[in-house]
Chains A and B, each alone.
Chain A
Amino acid sequence: DSGVTQTPKHLITATGQRVTLRCSPRSGDLSVYWYQQSLDQGLQFLIQYYNGEERAKGNILERFSAQQFPDLHSELNLSSLELGDSALYFCASSEGTNPSYEQYFGPGTRLTVT
């Protein structure tokens, strides 16, 4: 158990809908990262927050947004969902922003868009 929690574990929704994925980092970790893993691709970095502020952006679509709250939990919002958004979404956390810090991954949320 990494100490990172994600809810829900599974989510099934229809095209055009909006969903929110939630992540709580390990105790003491200030950085939260979101990753997407689609069937035909490896882990793709979406976005990073550090202590409430956006720190880095990756291949995140404009239909997606995220935030990190004062209690350090984070939410990833996915809107106008398309079939291609079906994927496993991971959240990870680390102590800070130094690249030498290990990232600890949560169990993931499997999103299915029908």
Chain B
Amino acid sequence: ILNVEQSPQSLHVQEGDSTNFTCSFPSSNFYALHWYRWETAKSPEALFVMTLNGDEKKKGRISATLNTKEGYSYLYIKGSQPEDSATYLCAFNWRGGATNKLIFGTGTLLAVQP
């Protein structure tokens, strides 16, 4: 069974704090790793797609890294703002499975206090 795990489940930080979360996935047959941001009452919004070991992607204050050999990805948020409050989901594609079928983790819920 292919499993994607995210930690922590939830995180409460103060405005201005930097934070990071982890996504763990099976390291064999890796194809791609996606990060999504999901605000309450909205739909998931794509942040990054990473395919190569060592990939680093950045969008504003948010960045992500990928280690396919050990099966993990980190998402970093620098100087958290209240508008960063959301659930951050990672999702995994693997070779040998259906093309573009994503296996989602259960997410990390981030709450940023002003």
- Pick the residue among A43, A44, A55, A103 that contacts B99 (CB under 8 A): A55
Q: Is the CB of B98 within 8 A of A57?
A: yes
Interface membership of chain A positions 98-112, coded 1 if the CB is closer than 8 angstroms to chain B and 0 otherwise: 111111111110000
Given A55-B99, A57-B98, A100-B32, CB of A43 within 8 Å of CB of B104:
yes
**Count the A-B residue pairs with Cβ separation under 8 angstroms: how many?**
71
CB distance from B71 to the nearest CB of A (A): 16
Q: Which of B64-114 contact A (CB under 8 A)?
A: 89, 91, 93, 97-107
Q: Evaluate whether A99 and B89 lie within 8 angstroms (CB atoms) in the complex, with A45-B102, A56-B99, A105-B44 already known.
A: no
Q: Are B99 and A90 in contact (CB under 8 A)?
A: no
For the complex, what is the distance from the CA of A97 to the CA of B49, rounded to whole Å? 14
Q: Evaluate contact between A56 and B98: CB separation under 8 angstroms.
A: yes
Decide yes or no whether A48 CB sits under 8 A from chain B: yes
Q: Is the CB of A108 within 8 A of B43?
A: yes
Question: For residue A44, which residues in chain B have a CB less than 8 angstroms away from its CB?
Answer: 104
Footprint of B on A, CB under 8 Å?
2, 4, 31, 33, 42-45, 48, 55-58, 90, 94, 97-108
Interface residues of B (CB under 8 A from A): 31-32, 34, 36, 42-46, 49, 51, 89, 91, 93, 97-107
